[in-house]
Amino acid sequence: MMMMMVIVMLVMVAEGALLSNNRSPRQAPTPTEADADLLSGLSNERLTCLLSADLEGTDPTACDHLTNTCTCVPFWQCRDNLIQPDRGAGLLPVVNVRINGLACDMAEHVCCMDVDSTALPPNEQINSISQCGVRNPDGVDANFQGFINRQSQYGEFPWMAAVVSREVDPVSQAPFYVAGGSLIHEQAVLTAAHKVYNMTPEQLSVRLGEWNFKEASEPRPHQDIHVSRVLLHPNFVLRDLKYNVAILQLETPAKLGPTVDIICLPRETENHVGPGCYSSGWGKDDFNVDTPFQQILKSIDLPAVDHPQCQTALRTTRLGPDFRLDNSFMCAGGEAGKDTCTGDGGSPLVCPMASDPTRYVQAGIVAWGIGCGQHGIPGVYSNVAKAVPWIQSNIMDSFGFDVRLQE
């Protein structure tokens, strides 16, 4: 109790709130009341600063920047000790998005007590590896913790592309989302043909380096590049979505870096089966029409499913016992609640290389499914390996060299 009295008196001195001389001692609050009156709404950081200032005889106004309530700011403007700074060469700061017990509306923001509004976003040069298919599982610039809806790390999938319209929403001034895609060459994006078959190049752009689709608040700017050509696979059939593959050629090359890079393509004979694959996109979590599209790029780990096994599973659905799954498709998933869904069309399914599991090749393109996330029912993807000869031929004809296969 004596220690509490000392602490309360120190805070009162620091705040300039000493009892006046004409106040009777009988009117003074009890220590418990004083604790409640003076400490309510006072952050731990400010309390510590004020106590130190009083004990050391320094100016308590130096504590004014420590707010009593937290404010949502970009993580790089927060000096709270719950933000773990760069832990050494090559290590990222760890950012808990639920710092101080609260989550902000914008994913890369934290609710901060000690704000430095003059701090600039991280712009350090990161040595990019000159290899395709390099995933950043810990993110770029920071490692975010506390996500609850399968959000990816910032820059985790640098090949991810958003196909958007050149037309913008008159209210938000943001482009309309069309499809997911993947960067397979500095000037070419792979997507699903059924998403762009009825659109002209003049209607389309590609956004690279995107993560938070609703806010332009990431530390590194995204790139918007106009589409110059839309190429559909010659065997594409809209009725049943066979060879559901398209290439979008870009007017100018993408600038490669930590958050924008190329995915490897598989060899023509490659067949992926087993765990360790990932799909990414901004699509819905559920087939329910009321479920919103995702603000933050999501990451879903999925097993690639053997073709005959997938066909057998799909025959148990409304497709019926005579359904035949064309060889231009491959499958992944089948775990309840984990699946690509509405809005993910065109997004990549990537699987680890057999020779180097830290790198990835694009095995599939999100094509179609029976609902979303049903137990035992995999999602269906365009089989990229079956389209590789056509992809290589078009890239060679347009740009004079091959796309990057496994190296």
Residue 142 lies in a domain: no
Could you give the CA distance from residue 407 to residue 400 in angstroms, rounded to a whole number? 19
Token code pair at residue 272 = 């992926």
Do 218 and 257 sit in the same domain of this protein? yes
Could you give the CA distance from residue 187 to residue 248 in angstroms, rounded to a whole number? 8
CA 222, distance to chain mean position in Å, is 13
Domain count, the chain: 4
Q: Which residue's entry shows tokens 């109790």?
A: 1
Do 43 and 9 sit in the same domain of this protein? yes
Nearest residue to 243 (alpha-carbon basis) of 252, 226, 256, 231: 231
Per residue in 181-194, pLDDT (tens digit) is: 999 999 999 999 99
Residue 131 lies in a domain: no
Do 245 and 394 sit in the same domain of this protein? yes
What is the model's pLDDT at position 34?
46
Radius of gyration from C-alpha coordinates of the chain: 27
Per residue in 13-44, pLDDT (tens digit) is: 444 433 334 444 334 444 454 444 444 445 55
| Structural domain range at position 40 | 2-17+30-63
Domain boundary among 96, 114, 132: 114
Could you give the CA distance from residue 337 to residue 399 in angstroms, rounded to a whole number? 41
Task: Give residue 4's pLDDT band: very low, low, confident or very high (50, 70, 90).
Answer: very low
Comparison of pLDDT for 95 and 256, the residue scoring more: 256
Mean pLDDT of all residues in 292-316:
91
What is the model's pLDDT at position 214?
80
Residue 353 lies in a domain: yes
Do 10 and 78 sit in the same domain of this protein? no
Pairing of strands 223-232, 348-352: unpaired
Do 101 and 237 sit in the same domain of this protein? no
Do 381 and 392 sit in the same domain of this protein? no
Q: Which residue's entry shows tokens 């009083």?
A: 54
Nearest residue to 381 (alpha-carbon basis) of 265, 244, 199, 266: 244
Comparison of pLDDT for 41 and 343, the residue scoring more: 343
Kindly report the length of the chain.
407
Comparison of pLDDT for 362 and 405, the residue scoring more: 362
Mean pLDDT of all residues in 276-292:
73
User: Is pLDDT above 90 for 235?
Assistant: yes
DSSP 8-state secondary structure symbol assigned to residue 327: T
In this structure, of 115-124, 263-272, 325-334, the range with the lowest mean pLDDT score is: 115-124
Do 50 and 99 sit in the same domain of this protein? no
Per residue in 313-337, pLDDT (tens digit) is: 999 999 999 999 999 999 999 888 7
What is the model's pLDDT at position 87?
44
Mean pLDDT of all residues in 99-128:
68
Do 393 and 246 sit in the same domain of this protein? yes
What is the model's pLDDT at position 115?
83
Task: Give residue 81's pLDDT band: very low, low, confident or very high (50, 70, 90).
Answer: low
What is the model's pLDDT at position 22?
42
User: Is pLDDT above 50 for 365?
Assistant: yes
State the burial class of residue 97 (Cβ atoms within 10 Å of its Cβ: 0-12, 13-18, 19+): buried
Per residue in 192-222, pLDDT (tens digit) is: 999 999 999 999 999 999 998 887 778 889 9
Mean pLDDT of all residues in 240-266:
96
Residue 120 lies in a domain: no
Do 218 and 305 sit in the same domain of this protein? no
What is the model's pLDDT at position 75?
75
Task: Give residue 68's pLDDT band: very low, low, confident or very high (50, 70, 90).
Answer: low
Residue 380 lies in a domain: yes
Mean pLDDT of all residues in 167-181:
90
Comparison of pLDDT for 107 and 109, the residue scoring more: 109
Comparison of pLDDT for 101 and 106, the residue scoring more: 106
Mean pLDDT of all residues in 87-94:
53
Do 283 and 376 sit in the same domain of this protein? yes
CATH of the domain at 170: 2.40.10.10
Residue 89 lies in a domain: yes
Could you give the CA distance from residue 357 to residue 274 in angstroms, rounded to a whole number? 13
Residue 83 lies in a domain: yes
Do 281 and 379 sit in the same domain of this protein? yes
Residue 200 lies in a domain: yes
Do 320 and 172 sit in the same domain of this protein? no
